[in-house]
Amino acid sequence: MSDFEPKIVAFFCNWCTYTAADLAGTSRMKYAPNIRVIRVMCSGRVDPQFVLEAFAKGADGVLIGGCHPGDCHYQRGNYKARRRILMLQRVLEEFGIEKERLRLEWISASEGDKVRKVANDMTEQIARLGPLRRGDEHG
Amino acid sequence: MSEEIRVGVYVCHCGSNIAGIIDVKSVAEEASKYPNVVVSREYKYMCSDPGQALIQEDIKQHNLNRIVVASCSPLLHEHTFRNATEKGGVNPFLFQMVNLREHDSWVHEDKEKATKKAIALVRAAVRRVALHSALERKEVPINPDVLIVGGGIAGIHAALTLANAGKLVYLVEKEPTIGGHMAKFDKTFPTLDCAACILTPKMTQVRAHPNIRLWSYSEVAGVDGFVGNFRVKVKRKPRYVDEEACIGCLACIEACIYKEGKFPDEFNMGLSKRKPIYFPFPQAVPQLAVIDPETCIEFKTGKCKKTCVAACDRNAIDFTQKETIEEISVGTIILATGFKAFDASRMPEYGYGTLSNVYTALEIERLVNSSGPTAGEVVLKNGQHPKSVGIIHCVGSRDEKTNKWCSRVCCMYSLKLAHLLREHTGAEIYNFYIDMRAPGKGYEEFYDRLLQEDGTHFIRGRVAEVTDWAMTEEEEGRLVIRVEDTLAGFVRRIPCDMVVLSVGLEPTPDAQDVRRMFNISCSTEGFFLERHPKLAPVNTFTDGIFLAGTCQGPKDIPDTVAQAGAAAAEALALIDRGSIELEPNTAYVVEDKCSGCHTCIALCPYNAISYDEEKKVAQINEALCKGCGTCVAACPSSAIVQRLFEDAEILEEIEGVLL
Amino acid sequence: MKKYLYYPGCSLKGTGKAYEESLIPVFKTLDAELHEIDDWNCCGATAYMSVDELKAFALAARNLAIAEKEGGSDLVAPCAACYLVLSKAQQYMREYPSERHEVSEALKGVGLTYSDTIKVRHPLDVLINDIGLKEISSKVKKSLKGLKIAPYYGCQIVRPYATFDDQYNPTTMDDLIKACGAEVVYYPLKTRCCGGSLTGTIPEVGVRLAYILLREARKRGADMLVTACPLCQFNLDGYQDQMKRRYEEMSMPILYFTQILGLAFGIPAKELGFRRSIISANSALDMRGIVHV
Amino acid sequence: MSMAEKLKLAMYWAASCGGCEISIVDLNEKILDVIKVADFVFWPVAMDFKYSDVEAMPDKFIDVCLFNGAIRSSENEHIAHLLRRKSKILIAYGACAYNGGIPGLANITNRQGMFDTVYKTISTNQNTLPKISARVPEGELELPQLYDTVKSLAQVVDVDYYVPGCPPAPKIVEASIDAIASGKLPPKGSVIGPSKALCEECPREKTDKKITAMKRTFEGMPDTKKCLLEQGYLCMGPATREGCGTPCINANMPCTGCSGPADDVTDQGAKMMSALTSVLALEGEENVSEENVLKMIQEFPDPMGVFYKYTMPTSTLKRRVMK
């Protein structure tokens, strides 16, 4: 593996996944330092523009973490997130960006270990895909 | 924004928790180079008084108008630092927190990379905070009434504490009587005082208390609203006996056409029989008879003589009773829904349900109890007294295949039962344990005492099986416990007449439904999740909902009562404050951008969005808005803004972290 | 008609011939066809497994690959040892990429590939879960009423994989016996060791273990033991003379569950390999007045 | 007024279809008012000019240049720079100049990709490929180079104003002309015309959006009173700038988004995607399985062509990443 360090922007919902990430911390679980978490109140707050902006501004991957279906603190926000992300993945592929670079994970407040697993797994996966080439061909 | 932005950045060492991994000095140095940053410091403990004072002095000296603190999780200390910022004379929302501990130093080992990440996170916060605008704190009043779910010792104790403090308490219990598991116990460890003697007085207090509305045989059917203003639906199951009229004289039960009890008695773990109309147990609260429609002839055939009706001179019996739904409003909720004992038949190797004379600990509690099915006489199925009894610890605990956790009470109650069984029968008692765990006041001493009692033996080893397969004369017709004695270092076969399975504690089967209904979380094993294992053990992630007793995890009676008290105190603290502050992270519509496309309206789970026919734009009722931001993300013309989470702020954060 | 791929393994062609002889007609009666896969080889059990696991898995995988090539998804492996090894090979290939890699390399060598589409099934599993007790009972022509049978499962079909039955108290065979009208003797030793290969290597241990099983069965009034494993059958049946020399005479017939089913379906005993037993079941059957010629 | 005081107008088409030219003719009698106040000093489509005429003009000679069409070739870019230099006010006129427009969809591939499709995958052509230089009797002939990436005008030169639409609607053109004539121009960089989304001026009745299934325009006949999106026809209106006067809607066809995003929206496609998927199968969403959601999204026809029909070059990601 080259010394490529993937940059992954993560949007974690305040109630489940952000809390789970805190739990991973208090439990001193170790995972790849490539994930940078941005806290939102609900995965339903994640605007597709954020994801595209992240890719355009240098992210190699984007991770969205929300409560499991049925567990959303705001009842149904995560269902919107699910539909948006699935559509976005299709569009990304047409933009020539592998859909693996955008990932949606349901991680409940008690699943600190899942945060660790997902962070490591995604970092490894993105590392395999290599750096995201921006769409700025010239000439 | 015309004013000049002046940011102060504070990087916390948190002792070595952060500084041990992250080079805080260089983080602070880097931050000092960013636009708008006027001061950038690192300090040992930002949450300490001097730490907070530091912020306030800087605000005065450098007239800062934005604050960034890079320390631990905002879920832990955001409040602290917002207050510090406000004390310094800056609006508390012109503040941004960076989570360097939980999300960086505690989870990464590579110092260089961890530091780089820290710098990126701080950069993001600095960029973001520049766009923050001053916000009003949002307060909502707290309804002083309290709902307590579950009438075991936890619910009872919490209810009495609150009621004595003059609060109105609704105590909802699913069974016909309160008392829970504790009411079934004979004695309690380590003091061996009788459970009924200490519990029943509290039960009667509940019944008599003017501030307690006791709804037994009832279940919560629905919850909405939020801290301070919950609206709760309670389903009241019909007991077919008029609560007002019945005085608990038992005449109806006497008169039932079943002369003898015929159906397994729940309270005695099925070891005795009851009639279709019955009294859960003599000290039951409320003192009301209840009819079980599953077994009552009138319900099954409609052709019963109804001798019970005739016997009741207060006409309390009413076969026409229907389930009713009561609606109440409360400000706070305490969940005390208790535990379920592990189902021993899940471990067939121990023969529960297939071999006679294999009992669970709860059954033994009833057997040794003088008001139990045998009036306290411990007899085998063949009527004889056991000469030897084996007590198997950790059944359904500390086991990969069933439950991984230690149930915390089994060691001690096994000792208690060992003592009681020895006392009642004089039998040889064998304890089979993995480790003896006696961490509690007087517990180790109690263990010591049992070690001294002759006829009580301790064998360290996990039992492989209980079988009636005899290899020797001595074993014939008895139960054989096969175990590797890990102290003696060989496999032993120990014949016993009676085997007691010390079953562990599990979440109740409906824990997941309850969790969803109250919008709280469960830990992986299924017990309700507390907000913080050390600092907020009775709080949940949902404000205004608290936990008491074993629904949060296995615990003994002293701990349960202590926690119930704590939950009551937390509720009181909220109630007496009179109001609670909410995050001002609500959304609003920018009217001159809204085209009235109606996309957002159906998205709101709280119906906070409506369409203004006059102005032809959407409107958000901020009293109803909970600040999820779903509509903001959905608005196709970016006409909805969420305070504290504005698009521009998040976009800055994105650029910031991408260092 | 249900079709199943069939992997007999060495036992069912040798010491356990009676198993195959009864299995096939029983399945036919139940309108299920067993199609023996072509050119199968040793499952990899016994010596191989202990000497070189990887080679053992390669052997097992070859059989799986052949099954896959022949099409169909369910591979019936009646011998408990085969059932265990094939399942184990599958699990290892799933869990350890390195194993999977080496095994597929080996397979390539003989022009085969395995893409993990085969379900390894034990006849008990198929009978109970695919065909069902209702169907089976409906095929019973001669009830075995009065016959007292101790069901003996042995270790390999429930340990470590308890995929279709309980690990400590398996009951699939019990149900089949009941379906035949016979009486199931409560037999707590149903999964205890039969002596395995120890009967050959350390007889004083192996034979003792086997003896304990039979003694307990007799004590509980069993007329016979019924098993699902050729090795168990062989040990318990074949070493009774040694038991006699070392301990006492048992003369306890040891049959395959398929033989019992066949009998109940009205298939003549001689077509079910009864004659192959060392301890004949005739007297036991006569005693209970069951026609078996 | 005298000739000398008349405004000097220029109009140029780069990568475009000519529709923008037509939009001027579309002014009907209003064109006369234009002629009162302005002379066209450069308008290749309408009158005979040579680039050399433009090069001959002194800098800032042109008062207002209406530049339509995207930048997809060296010629387009060269003229863009030239006209920028010669014009006081440069206006990106129409969807292509503003956001890349339909030609912008070429960013889903690159030059080679396009050549392969156009010249290689057809039977009538034996691999003749366009050359940028050719030998002719007069000597070496240089031809413009086609670019890999289509750009909007503002991505190559500094632009003063934008006029949206494919083509711009007469009332917007009028508004622009009036503004120019009267010198009452909005702040530099603004889009001329109103700033909300199309639903603002859409006459159809709207209720809460809960779309059960998407329809293609050829499926069934839409109710002419009700919101097309609510009927399942993909209408880009909610994410598209108003001002066109809803000609498509009036023809019972859904909006395809030619006017680009409303103010404050950076990515029209992303926003429409978000809005649409939010309300799509909203009813009983909690009971829909993961697989069914996936299926529903997979079946959605041509997301790129729908969401980014006119704005791919100015979208956040601008073009496809070629492997």
How confident is the model over B596-610, as a mean pLDDT?
94
How confident is the model over C2-30, as a mean pLDDT?
96
Of A22, A50, A116, the CB nearest to B654: A50
User: For the segment D85-110, what is each residue's pLDDT rounded down to a tens digit?
Assistant: 999 999 999 999 999 999 999 999 99
Q: Which residues have C-beta within 8 Å of that of residue B74, sequence separation ≥ 6?
A: A39, B97, B99
Task: For residue C136, tell me if it sits in a domain.
Answer: no
pLDDT band at A2 (very low <50, low <70, confident <90, very high): low
Beta strand B332-335 with B545-547: parallel, antiparallel or unpaired? Answer: parallel
With contacts defined as CB-CB under 8 Å, which chain B residues touch C186? 354
How confident is the model over B488-496, as a mean pLDDT?
95
Is D306 within 8 Å of D273 (Cβ atoms)?
A: no
Task: For residue C292, tell me if it sits in a domain.
Answer: no
Residue after which a domain boundary falls, among C123, C151, C178:
C123
3 state SS for B428-455: EEEEEECCCCCCCCCHHHHHHHHHHCCC
The three-state secondary structure class of B221 is: strand
Size of interface A-D (CB pairs under 8 A): 110
Q: Which of B621 and C293 is assigned the larger pLDDT?
A: B621
Contact flag for C and A (3+ C-beta pairs < 8 Å): no
pLDDT band at A1 (very low <50, low <70, confident <90, very high): very low
C119 shares its domain with C169: no
Count CB-CB contacts under 10 A for residue D99. 30
* Edge-first strand listing for the sheet containing C254-256: C183-184, C148-152, C224-227, C254-256
Lowest mean pLDDT among B267-271, C202-206, D18-22, D30-34: D30-34
Q: Burial of B520 by CB count in 10 Å (0-12 exposed, 13-18 middle, 19+ buried)?
A: buried
User: For the segment B249-261, what is each residue's pLDDT rounded down to a tens digit?
Assistant: 999 999 999 999 9
Residue at B563: amino acid letter: Q
Quote the CA–CA distance of B96 and C68 in Å, as a whole number.
60
Contact flag for C and B (3+ C-beta pairs < 8 Å): yes
Quote the CA–CA distance of A126 and B120 in Å, as a whole number.
20
How confident is the model over B357-381, as a mean pLDDT?
95
Q: Which residue of A has its CA nearest to D296?
A: A83
Residue at B338: amino acid letter: G
The three-state secondary structure class of C256 is: strand
Inter-chain touch A133–D148, beta carbons under 8 Å: no
User: For the segment B15-35, what is each residue's pLDDT rounded down to a tens digit?
Assistant: 999 999 999 999 999 999 999
Q: Which residue of C has its CA nearest to B350?
A: C168
With contacts defined as CB-CB under 8 Å, which chain D residues touch A53? 266, 316
DSSP D226: B
Assigned architecture for domain B7-135: 3-Layer(aba) Sandwich (3.40)
* Total length of chain C: 293
- Does residue D52 surpass a pLDDT of 70? yes
Assign residue C114 the CATH number of its domain: 1.20.1050.140
- Does residue B349 surpass a pLDDT of 90? yes
Quote the CA–CA distance of A78 and A66 in Å, as a whole number.
6
What pLDDT, on a 0 to 100 scale, did the predictor assign at position D3? 47
Q: Burial of D314 by CB count in 10 Å (0-12 exposed, 13-18 middle, 19+ buried)?
A: buried
- CATH code for the structural domain at B340-506: 3.50.50.60
Q: Pseudo-torsion of CA B569, B570, B574, B576, nearest 10°?
A: 10
Residue % of chain D over a pLDDT of 70: 98
Quote the CA–CA distance of C60 and C152 in Å, as a whole number.
26
CA atoms within 13 A on the CB side of A11: 29
Of A24, A40, A110, the CB nearest to B107: A24
Is B13 within 8 Å of B42 (Cβ atoms)?
A: yes
Assign residue C148 the CATH number of its domain: 3.40.50.11810
User: For the segment B503-559, what is each residue's pLDDT rounded down to a tens digit?
Assistant: 999 999 999 999 989 988 898 899 999 988 888 999 998 889 999 999 999 999 999
Residue B327, CA distances (Å) to B234, B330, B450, B510, D216 in order: 6, 10, 52, 22, 48
Quote the CA–CA distance of B235 and B218 in Å, as a whole number.
5
Q: Is D281 on the interface with A (CB under 8 A)?
A: yes
Residue at D262: amino acid letter: A
- Does residue A138 surpass a pLDDT of 70? no
User: For the segment B77-118, what is each residue's pLDDT rounded down to a tens digit?
Assistant: 999 999 999 999 999 999 999 999 999 999 999 999 999 999
Size of interface B-C (CB pairs under 8 A): 16
Lowest mean pLDDT among B61-75, B201-215, D84-98, D115-129: D115-129
C148 shares its domain with C94: no
Q: Which residues have C-beta within 8 Å of that of residue B582, sequence separation ≥ 6?
A: B138, B139, B140
C251 shares its domain with C181: yes
Answer positive or negative: Cα dihedral of C275, C277, C279, C285: negative
Q: Is B603 on the interface with D (CB under 8 A)?
A: yes
CA atoms within 13 A on the CB side of A29: 20
Q: Is B523 on the interface with C (CB under 8 A)?
A: no
Quote the CA–CA distance of C76 and C120 in Å, as a whole number.
6
* Total length of chain D: 323
C158 shares its domain with C275: yes
With contacts defined as CB-CB under 8 Å, which chain D residues touch B593? 195-196, 262-264
- Does residue B636 surpass a pLDDT of 60? yes
C96 shares its domain with C206: no
C269 shares its domain with C147: yes
**Terminal-residue alpha carbon distance, chain D:** 60
User: For the segment A14-43, what is each residue's pLDDT rounded down to a tens digit?
Assistant: 999 999 999 999 999 999 999 999 999 999
Hunting for tokens 């739904």 — which residue is that? B325
pLDDT band at A136 (very low <50, low <70, confident <90, very high): low
Hunting for tokens 């609560």 — which residue is that? B243
Task: For residue C51, tell me if it sits in a domain.
Answer: yes
Examine residue A69 and say whether the peptide bond preceding it is cis (omega within 30 degrees of 0): no
Residue C231, CA distances (Å) to C82, C155, C189, C234, C248 in order: 11, 11, 16, 5, 22
Q: Is D127 on the interface with B (CB under 8 A)?
A: no
Residue range of the domain that includes C206: 141-287
Q: Which residue of D has its CA nearest to B607?
A: D208
Contact flag for A and D (3+ C-beta pairs < 8 Å): yes
Size of interface A-B (CB pairs under 8 A): 142
Q: Which residues of chain B are in CATH 3.50.50.60 domains? A: 340-506
User: For the segment B307-340, what is each residue's pLDDT rounded down to a tens digit?
Assistant: 999 999 999 999 999 999 999 999 999 999 999 9
CATH topology for B583-643?
Alpha-Beta Plaits (3.30.70)
Hey, what are D140's tokens? 């070496």
Task: For residue C91, tell me if it sits in a domain.
Answer: yes
C-alpha distance from B469 to closest chain C C-alpha (Å) = 7
What is the DSSP track for B18-40?
A: TTTTS-HHHHHHHHHTSTTEEEE
β-bridge partners, B42: B11
Is B28 within 8 Å of B40 (Cβ atoms)?
A: yes
What angle (nearest 5°) sits at the alpha carbon of residue B48, between those of residues B44 and B49? 125
Q: Which of the following CATH numbers is that of domain A8-129: 3.40.50, 1.10.3470, 1.10.600, 3.30.70? A: 3.40.50
C-alpha distance from C189 to closest chain B C-alpha (Å) = 8
C80 shares its domain with C212: no
What pLDDT, on a 0 to 100 scale, did the predictor assign at position D35? 84
What pLDDT, on a 0 to 100 scale, did the predictor assign at position D1? 41
Q: Which of D74, D148, D276, D317 should we substitute to test contact with A (largest number of A Cβ atoms within 10 Å)?
A: D317
Task: For residue C276, tell me if it sits in a domain.
Answer: yes
**Alpha carbon B619 to chain centroid distance?**
38
User: For the segment C157-198, what is each residue's pLDDT rounded down to a tens digit?
Assistant: 998 988 999 988 999 999 999 999 999 999 999 999 999 889
Q: Which of C216, C218, C247 should we substitute to test contact with B (largest number of B Cβ atoms within 10 Å)?
A: C216
Count CB-CB contacts under 10 A for residue B72. 28
pLDDT band at A8 (very low <50, low <70, confident <90, very high): very high
Task: For residue C135, tell me if it sits in a domain.
Answer: no
Q: Calculate the average pLDDT of chain A.
A: 93
Q: Which of the following CATH numbers is that of domain D3-102+151-182: 3.90.740.10, 3.60.9.10, 3.40.50.700, 3.20.20.70? A: 3.40.50.700
Phi, psi angle pair for B48, to nearest 5°: -70, 165
Q: Calculate the average pLDDT of chain C.
A: 94
User: For the segment C80-128, what is each residue's pLDDT rounded down to a tens digit?
Assistant: 999 999 999 999 999 888 889 999 999 999 999 999 999 999 999 999 9
Kindly list the domain boundaries of chain D, sorted by start residue.
Answer: 3-102+151-182, 112-146, 194-318
- Does residue C66 surpass a pLDDT of 80? yes
